[in-house]
Structure 1
């Protein structure tokens, strides 16, 4: 039973009807295409709506979660109690000189395209990352020898007191799949990236090269959350999993990709439990065979 449905009227005071969904299927909002419903899903289109939503949740003791594009998220089969605030509508991108400022919901591929259009180099690595700017700053996303920390100048965040702060690159404390934002539970509102003027044809060539490499090596034809595990120090997760003989290992509708062992994929009709069971089996086997503990890179929300 949806115990939070009664709070819909509070949100209706600040949202259009189309921005509020009750019992929303989270499987339609995350790349894994699994998971149960959330009691209330909100999609604010400005920062004021976001702040007022959080105020309502806190005043009424409603649990809430803020998400971006859902590309690095796994929602359990029991769904999420409370409110999910999805920031995909906050997606403006502005280029001035050699800098690009993008709101949290802007897709990385769109920022990369804007950089290419402006003959700006440095953001090519992100052309195929399916996430949004907010999530990318939150976890210092990276690929192909590049990462957010290499190009970010500053980020605008909403802190735990709902005050807007501007954090410099140094203050963001970006490390491998970590940041001050993650540590403090802040919400990224926007980020400014400082790029390098370059030759447009060379920039586009690099984007095309990385796109082809991604299509050739990753199981993009199946739902997944990208690389499922963080890179353990001194190792590569995909190689450890492959060496453990786990390529193709399947539970229910979830399995280790035959194309890239670092990916757990949903081959169809998979459940979140299937995905989690595969993750746990991989962790157990890699630990047993190589003594290495794999940590999930994917963010896990909800209840069984």
Structure 2
């Protein structure tokens, strides 16, 4: 494998220097404010550049990780080796008729607001989801009875070989908090949403109501990864955690929120290790008390600290 200087040189043939960061602390790019360094943190500004970065990683046999805006993600304290690709600079949102094209790096909240401005209904549920469009499709994000698969018509992706593909919504096997994008190794570049004409005030009223519900119930005053666990069949994760007496408890600087038990907050300069141990403590306690396995909704990536 090439040394870092040689890798940097090859990346410089694809990207401007301002779009290549070396040894970049990933706690600058996650909602939890956790995570070690990325060897290379790159932010392409064109689809072609994304394809070239993927092909370069393949050619050099470099580890390759895609990062959204870090809202539903925990990066371990040891950081991430190889190339971390961020699409945050691909953030354009356009509409034509009842259709919206939103690039992967755009926030799904901004897509819902754009829909409101254009008097289009179908993305109201997303007005409080903090992730990017790409991240929302990656996990079929949803809230308050709506989810991405309800509005998605097709998406443009790059595959593992660096090929550009346009695929219909049903190609992504969208289910509750699931898509096949991780298994396929796709990188989402843009999503095409099919919306419906609506009334501005009616759409705004729904979004205002959902925003109030979110802000009044969720611990937005502390860094967190959002909702930690998927909803177990027949139960609510937050209720199980609350009934287990876990609110206010945690490991180190991480704590199960006293405002909403489904959230774990970084209350006092937690490490990723402490945050992950807090998640495991919750899973163990709920399993012992109720016999229910809580499955993580949040992704965990990277290496443990002090790993050779």
Q: Any idea what the Cα deviations from partners look like across 1:228-258, whole Å, max 9, x if unmatched?
A: 1111111111111111111111211101000
Q: Which residue number corresponds to residue 71 of structure 1?
A: 71
**Partners of 1:4 and 1:82 within 8 A in 2:** no
Q: Which residue number corresponds to residue 224 of structure 1?
A: 224
Q: Which residue number corresponds to residue 254 of structure 2?
A: 254
Q: Any idea what the Cα deviations from partners look like across 1:184-216, whole Å, max 9, x if unmatched?
A: 121111111111111100101111111111110
Q: How does 1:169-188 map to 2 (within 5 A)?
A: 169-188=169-188
CA distance in 1 between partners of 2:295 and 2:27 (Å): 23
**Partners of 1:31 and 1:70 within 8 A in 2:** yes
Q: Which residue number corresponds to residue 152 of structure 2?
A: 152
Q: Which residue number corresponds to residue 126 of structure 2?
A: 126
Q: Which residue number corresponds to residue 96 of structure 2?
A: 96
Q: Secondary structure at the match of 1:167?
A: strand
CA distance in 1 between partners of 2:175 and 2:129 (Å): 18
Q: Which residue number corresponds to residue 59 of structure 1?
A: 59
When residues 235 and 5 of structure 1 are mapped into structure 2, their CA distance, relative to the original with a 3 A threshold, is farther
TM-score normalised to structure 2 length: 0.96
Q: Any idea what the Cα deviations from partners look like across 1:66-108, whole Å, max 9, x if unmatched?
A: 1111111100011111110000011111101111111111111
Over the aligned positions, Cα root-mean-square deviation in angstroms equals 1.3
Poorly superposed stretches of 4+, deviation over 4 Å? none
Please list every run of 5 or more consecutive structure 2 residues that lacks an aligned counterpart in the other structure: none
Q: Any idea what the Cα deviations from partners look like across 1:143-191, whole Å, max 9, x if unmatched?
A: 1111001111111111223222222122221001111223312111111
User: How many residues of Structure 1 are paired with residues of Structure 2 in the alignment?
Assistant: 303
Q: How does 1:2-151 map to 2 (within 5 A)?
A: 4-151=4-151
Q: CA deviation at 1:4?
A: 3.5
**Partners of 1:75 and 1:302 within 8 A in 2:** yes
Q: CA deviation at 1:3?
A: 5.9
TM-score normalised to structure 1 length: 0.97
Please list every run of 5 or more consecutive structure 1 residues that lacks an aligned counterpart in the other structure: none
Q: Which residue number corresponds to residue 286 of structure 1?
A: 286
Q: Secondary structure at the match of 1:265?
A: strand
When residues 28 and 34 of structure 1 are mapped into structure 2, their CA distance, relative to the original with a 3 A threshold, is same
**Partners of 1:105 and 1:133 within 8 A in 2:** yes
Range 184-193 or range 156-165, more displaced: 156-165
Q: Which residue number corresponds to residue 244 of structure 1?
A: 244
